[in-house]
Amino acid sequence: MKKKQLSKDPYNIVITGVGGQGNVMASRLLANMLVRKGCQVTIGETFGASQRGGSVMSHLRVSAESVWSPQIPKGRADIVAALEPVEALRVLMRYGNPGVKVLTNTRPIYPVGVIAGELDYPSPEEIRATVKELSAYAWFIAATDEAIKLGNPILGNIVMIGAIAGMGELPIAREDFREVIVSSMPAEKLDVNLKAFDIGVEKVKQ
Amino acid sequence: MMSKLIEQKEGVQYLLMGNEAIARGALEAGVSVACGYPGTPSSEIIETLSKVAKEGNLYVEWSANEKVAMEVAAAASFAGLRSLCTMKQNGVHVTSDFLLHLAASGTRGGMILVSCEDPGALSSVNEVESRYFAPMIEIPLLEPADFQEAKDMTRWAFELSEEIRNIVMVRSVTRLSHGSGNVSFGKLPDTKRQAEFKSDGPILDPDEGLVFSAPVVYKHQLQQEKIKRAREIFELSPFNTYQGPEKPELLLITCSICYLYCREAISLLGVKERVGVLKFGTTWPLPPELLKRHLSLTDNILIVEEVRPFLEEHVKILAAEMAPEIGIKTFYGKETGHFPSVGELNPDLVVSALSKILGVSSYIGMPPDYEKKAEMLTSTRTPRRDLIFCPGCPHRASLWSIHNALQMDGRRGFVCGDIGCYSMAILSPSCGFGTMKTLHSMGSGTGIASGFGKFGQFGMEQPVLTVCGDSTFYHAVIPALINAVHHAANMTLIVLDNGGTAMTGFQSHPGLTVNAMGEEVPAVDIAKICESLGVRVEIRDPFDLEETRKVINRFLEEEDGVRVLILRQICGLSPEKKAGKRYEMRVDEELCLGENCGCNRLCTRIFRCPGINWDKEKKKARIDEVICAGCGVCSFICPAEAIKREEAA
Ligand code: SF4
Ligand code: SF4
């Protein structure tokens, strides 16, 4: 029964971003939603030094019945969700394939080498074109900007989770998000989180 | 979210991080005392337990260092309680002196050491193993292979420890400790044990005698009997499993998270019918009968593990002994170059080793034309992300002043470094202005500086500085500082006191008024410790750049003995800091001279706080309000005074 809910087994999701963006929180929220639905989920992530401005990546393996390795094999991502645009490219370079679906938050965080003028950061157009070229479907969402409108940039992650749910690839819905949020956050934050989630769902449908 | 750890519901599945699963396993075993020193990837075990300390009636502590943590945990065991001690790989080396005595004296209540290692050094400055301590110190070693086992094995390790009356080592790795997966819960015990230390029985009585490693040869003998007993138990352990055909072409022998890589590789290559996997949960001492049975299945064996060939060596020794019965085997692994001998493994590396041995070439990870296209399109568009100090980090400010003071001094002075966020000062140019020139273990900066500080007699004229963090100060700097003071080394110690163990997630340490369980405790003052050693101490705010630089220059000029400067400013990530910005920042575009100012963009090119960006079109600096932490420091570095700060509302 559960098998029908996943188009592939294992289903592989990469959530990527920059240290400090709340990558770990986002991957755990999503995973908890999936576990609620009876899936076996393995998350692979590392933190520590990577929090300090480095690239951060979480691998989610979703399966009906089996525990999978916390590292996705090369070329085997099904969804890439990038909290930062250039990180989408970095992940595609190793885990991409012609069938991958990519969700990109459009707000850049410049590496220190770019700030210092030693490295170049690609233009929004270049990023768009590259992501499109390397994926089957690509969505670009101004998640951080939407979140700032809601009063807190960190909600950008929730917008992204909403967007992942909105893609319709995984057996999760708003109710699962609600349940998970209720058990992990103070009650007064519920509404704004749900709002952010809904924005994500809506954006991916547009 | 955390309270789920003491959920009673048996059999229900939860998503747990490996470290949380280890914590839950300890709770299910009825652990009473948990101690450790923070270190990635181990820290969440103690952190998780500290959050349920009250409800679970536990005593949890962040100890001053790993050796002390082990000593406190041992006391619990001597009193008949179950105890857990956690650390990262380096910690086992720190604690090894006590550990070797403990292993000889034996334990009473179940006691386990959890060592979390970091193959690939994802967040460490080494990828050394602590597994070799098990044979060296003669204690059993267990290695869980997935999240469920992390819980179950931890729980069982306490029973094993009580059965053989000695400490048991459990080894995790980053991918397990920091990975997460479904874990189904077992029962939590209803009652906890009472602590009582019995020591007036017959001298050699394991329950009521002295706790002591003498008579040495007798106790050593006893210790080896315990290991023998463990080996017998391991022969039947359900944590050692075999999956695969009756007569595989190739037998994989593996342990730890590499087990999952093996399974993945077999599934990717579709070679389930050809390959068997023998997974060891008990990696030392290996159970020989079990091994013999499996080695008899085939003549070709591939050993999959990280980082050093630990299993490989021990399996080969046993195979040599068994050769008359099982015949000659061919072993593949690190020694044959089928796996790299450094760094961590992953499913792809196992795929490639397997394909080579089995002669399978059909597997394609990424379609070659896609790979080519991806490489071409992304290589120039993915700028490197160097590690940097966080926005608002006091270390950036401190190192800025140290760097400037050394430049101004002009005698090629340098900084001996230590472990913590500030270790990034060794990076250049991205971070810390390349001021740090040596970096080894905790406290070594001060020890090394105490050496350099004595080389004046050999003509050394460079001023010697060393930096350490507050947690590190208590951990291992104190003895080194005593050494420097006693020998009148000529050096300056700068304590970068940011009010917690920031690198690993802000754990408490002896300088704080709160402990791991959130209770109020006396703080031990760094300045007073230094003063009591007769050292002159000054305290400054590193955000006051000019004053800090002046004090450092004054200290550099002094010729004799040790002086200590404490730079005190709270970590940019501390909860207190995150709550709000002190200053609203903005760049006055009129005043910003950018490339034309004499400094050539000092703020973005040299100071490099990620909160300041360079607007290429306007050719002006710009504050990114999402990233800027509002510390206000950059307003002092701009020579044109273009960066403005305003007290935040
Ligand atoms: S965690 Fe704290 S101490 Fe470490 S780099 Fe960030 S601000 Fe600095
Ligand atoms: S005030 Fe300046 S130095 Fe401080 S965080 Fe913001 S940009 Fe960085």
| Cα–Cα distance measured from residue B383 to residue B373, given in angstroms and rounded to the nearest whole number | 18
Neighbours of A99 (CB within 10 A): 12
Ligand 2 centroid, distance to B378 Cα (angstroms): 31
| Cα–Cα distance measured from residue B619 to residue B614, given in angstroms and rounded to the nearest whole number | 7
Ligand 1 centroid, distance to B519 Cα (angstroms): 25
Ranges of H-type helices in B327-381: 347-358, 368-378
Q: Is the CB of B628 under 6 A from ligand 2?
A: yes
Q: Is the CB of B119 under 6 A from ligand 2?
A: no
pLDDT of residue B2: 44
B366 interaction partners in chain A (CB closer than 8 Å)? 74-75, 96-97
| Cα–Cα distance measured from residue A197 to residue B421, given in angstroms and rounded to the nearest whole number | 34
The answer to whether A17 and A87 have CB atoms below 8 angstroms apart is yes
Nearest residue by C-alpha to atom 2 in ligand 2: B634
pLDDT in tens, A128-139: 999 999 999 999
B429 interaction partners in chain A (CB closer than 8 Å)? 116
Ranges of H-type helices in chain A: 23-36, 85-95, 112-115, 124-133, 143-150, 156-166, 174-184, 190-205
Write out the DSSP string of B516-551. Answer: TTS-B-PPPPHHHHHHHTT-EEEEE-TTSHHHHHHH
A20 interaction partners in chain B (CB closer than 8 Å)? 390
Strands B330-332 and B282-284: unpaired
A residues 134..163 contacting B (CB < 8 A): 134, 144, 148, 153
Prior bond to A10 cis, omega within 30? yes
Determine which of A13, A41, A71, A74 to mutate to test the interface with B (most B C-beta atoms within 10 Å): A71
Nearest residue by C-alpha to atom 8 in ligand 1: B393
Q: Are the Cβ atoms of A113 and B180 closer than 8 angstroms?
A: no
Three-state DSSP class for residue B497: strand
Which ligand approaches the C-alpha of residue B388 most closely?
A: 1
Looking at the DSSP assignment, which residues form a beta bridge with residue B262? Answer: none
Asked if residue A1 has pLDDT above 50, the reply is no
Single out the residue of A43, A17, A23 nearest to residue B181, CA to CA: A43
| Cα–Cα distance measured from residue A17 to residue B213, given in angstroms and rounded to the nearest whole number | 52
Asked if residue A89 has pLDDT above 60, the reply is yes
> Which residue in chain A is spatially nearest to B267 when comparing CA positions?
A68
The answer to whether B504 and B472 have CB atoms below 8 angstroms apart is no
Which helix (H) or strand (E) segment holds residue B149: the answer is helix B147-164
The answer to whether B423 and B570 have CB atoms below 8 angstroms apart is no
| Cα–Cα distance measured from residue A206 to residue B411, given in angstroms and rounded to the nearest whole number | 64
pLDDT of residue A29: 95
Single out the residue of A9, B323, B43 nearest to residue B315, CA to CA: B323
Which ligand approaches the C-alpha of residue B423 most closely?
A: 1
Q: Is the CB of B18 under 6 A from ligand 2?
A: no
Between the alpha carbon of residue B497 and those of residues A155, B505, B561, the distances in Å are 32, 15, 22
**C-alpha distance from B570 to closest chain A C-alpha (Å):** 16
**C-alpha distance from A172 to closest chain B C-alpha (Å):** 16
A residues 186..205 contacting B (CB < 8 A): none
Ligand 1 centroid, distance to A37 Cα (angstroms): 38
Phi, psi at residue B171, to the nearest 5°? -115, 125
| Cα–Cα distance measured from residue A134 to residue B607, given in angstroms and rounded to the nearest whole number | 36
Ranges of H-type helices in B379-508: 394-409, 444-452, 470-472, 478-486
Q: Is the CB of B572 under 6 A from ligand 1?
A: yes
Q: Are the Cβ atoms of A93 and B375 closer than 8 angstroms?
A: yes
| Cα–Cα distance measured from residue B16 to residue B179, given in angstroms and rounded to the nearest whole number | 8
Ligand 1 centroid, distance to B48 Cα (angstroms): 22
The answer to whether B257 and B181 have CB atoms below 8 angstroms apart is no
Q: Are the Cβ atoms of A116 and B608 closer than 8 angstroms?
A: yes
A residues 34..73 contacting B (CB < 8 A): 35, 40-50, 52-55, 67-73
B245: Cα separation from own chain's centroid? 39
Per the structure block, which two tokens stand in for B205? Answer: 């009585």
Q: Are the Cβ atoms of A116 and B346 closer than 8 angstroms?
A: no
Q: Which residues of B218-256 are buried (b: 16+ CB within 10 A; e: fewer)?
A: ebeebbeebbebbbebbeebebbeebbeeebbbbbbbbb
Q: Are the Cβ atoms of B374 and A42 closer than 8 angstroms?
A: no
The answer to whether B584 and B623 have CB atoms below 8 angstroms apart is no
Between the alpha carbon of residue B459 and those of residues A56, B409, B452, B466, B488, the distances in Å are 47, 18, 11, 20, 17
Q: Is the CB of B281 under 6 A from ligand 2?
A: no
3-state secondary structure B201-220: CCCCCCCCCCCCCCCHHHHH
| Cα–Cα distance measured from residue B163 to residue B230, given in angstroms and rounded to the nearest whole number | 9
Looking at the DSSP assignment, which residues form a beta bridge with residue A44? Answer: A59
Q: Which atom of ligand 1 is nearest to the CA of B389?
A: 5
Neighbours of B370 (CB within 10 A): 18
> Which is it for the CA torsion B330, B336, B341, B344, positive or negative?
negative
| Cα–Cα distance measured from residue B128 to residue B119, given in angstroms and rounded to the nearest whole number | 8
pLDDT of residue A4: 46
B13 interaction partners in chain A (CB closer than 8 Å)? 35
Per the structure block, which two tokens stand in for B521? Answer: 């405790």
| Cα–Cα distance measured from residue A42 to residue B148, given in angstroms and rounded to the nearest whole number | 11
The answer to whether B74 and B111 have CB atoms below 8 angstroms apart is yes
The answer to whether B276 and B245 have CB atoms below 8 angstroms apart is yes
Q: Are the Cβ atoms of B383 and A119 closer than 8 angstroms?
A: yes
Three-state DSSP class for residue B260: helix
Q: Which long-range contacts (CB under 8 A, 24 or more apart) does B356-362 make?
A: B357/B250, B357/B300, B357/B302, B357/B332, B358/B249, B358/B250, B358/B269, B358/B271, B358/B274, B358/B275, B360/B269, B360/B271, B362/B269
A68 interaction partners in chain B (CB closer than 8 Å)? 260, 263-264
> Which residue in chain B is spatially nearest to A144 when comparing CA positions?
B626
Looking at the DSSP assignment, which residues form a beta bridge with residue A11? Answer: A62
A residues 78..107 contacting B (CB < 8 A): 86, 89-90, 92-93, 96-98, 107
A43 interaction partners in chain B (CB closer than 8 Å)? 15, 179-181
Q: Which atom of ligand 1 is nearest to the CA of B396?
A: 8
Q: Are the Cβ atoms of A75 and B148 closer than 8 angstroms?
A: no
| Cα–Cα distance measured from residue B68 to residue B231, given in angstroms and rounded to the nearest whole number | 30
Report the complex ipTM: 0.94
Ligand 2 centroid, distance to B550 Cα (angstroms): 22
Asked if residue A49 has pLDDT above 60, the reply is no
Which ligand approaches the C-alpha of residue B577 most closely?
A: 1
Per the structure block, which two tokens stand in for B493? Answer: 């110690």
Single out the residue of B48, B56, B180 nearest to residue B114, CA to CA: B48
The answer to whether A81 and A160 have CB atoms below 8 angstroms apart is yes
Spans of chain B below 50 pLDDT: 1-2
